Structure 1
Amino acid sequence: MSSSDDPTTSGRSQGVLLAAGPRHEVDAWVAASIVPVSVVPLQGWVGVVTRGPSRAGAPYEDGGLVSACRALPARAAPGLGFFEVDGRALVTVHGGGRRRRVRWVVWEPEQGLLRPPGLDLAGPAELVRLAGADPGTRDELVELLHETRVRPARMLQAVMATLGLPGTRLVEEPARADDLPGAVRVVPDRRQVEWFEDAVRDSVRLRQELGVLS
Structure 2
Amino acid sequence: MTATASTLPGLLLLQGEPRRVGSWVARGTVPAYVLPVGGWTAVVAAGESAAKAPYDDGLTMLANRPVPHGFRGSVGFFSIDGRAVVVVQRRGWRTIPRWLVWEPGHGAQRVHGLSPLRSSDLLDVVGVAPEETQTLRSLLRSTEGESLDLLRDLIDALALPAGRMLSGSGVPTQPDATLVTPGERDVARFERVVGEDRAIRAEQEDLS
Contact 2:22/2:180, CA 8 A, preserved across alignment: no
What is residue 160 of structure 1 aligned with on the other side? 155
Distance 1:147 1:100, change over 3 A: closer
CA deviation profile, 1:165-196 (whole Å, cap 9, x unmatched): 12111112x25212223110011111110000
**Aligned pair 1:189/2:183, yes or no?**
yes
Residue of structure 1 aligned with 2:106, choices 97, 105, 111: 111
Report how many residues are paired. Answer: 202
Gaps of 5+ in 1: 1-11
Deviation string, structure 1 residues 110-165 (Cα, Å, up to 9, x no partner)? 00111111101120121022112234533211112333221101110110010001
Q: Is residue 195 of structure 2 the alignment partner of residue 201 of structure 1?
A: yes
Which residue is equivalent to 2:165? 170
Structure 2 counterpart of 1:207, which letter? Answer: R
- State the TM-score, normalizing by the size of structure 1: 0.88
Measured at CA, do residues 69 and 212 of structure 1 come closer, stay the same or move farther in structure 2, by a change above 3 Å? farther
Q: Is the 8 A contact 1:128 1:135 kept in 2?
A: no
The residue matched to 1:210 in structure 2 has which SS? helix
- Paired with 1:160 and 1:22, the residues of 2 have a C-alpha distance of 22
Q: Assess, with a 3 A threshold, how the Cα gap between structure 1 residues 164 and 206 changes in structure 2: closer, same or farther.
A: same
Q: Which 5+ residue runs of structure 2 have no aligned equivalent?
A: 1-6
Identical counterparts, % of pairs? 36
Report the 3-state secondary structure (helix = DSSP H, G, I; strand = E; otherwise coil) of the residue aligned with 1:84: strand
Matched, 1:75 2:63: no
Which aligned runs of 4 or more in structure 1 are off by greater than 3 angstroms?
Answer: none
Q: Aligned-pair distance for 1:209?
A: 1.5
Per-residue deviation, 1:54: 0.4
C-alpha distance in 1 between matches for 2:44 and 2:105: 27
2:3 aligns to what? none
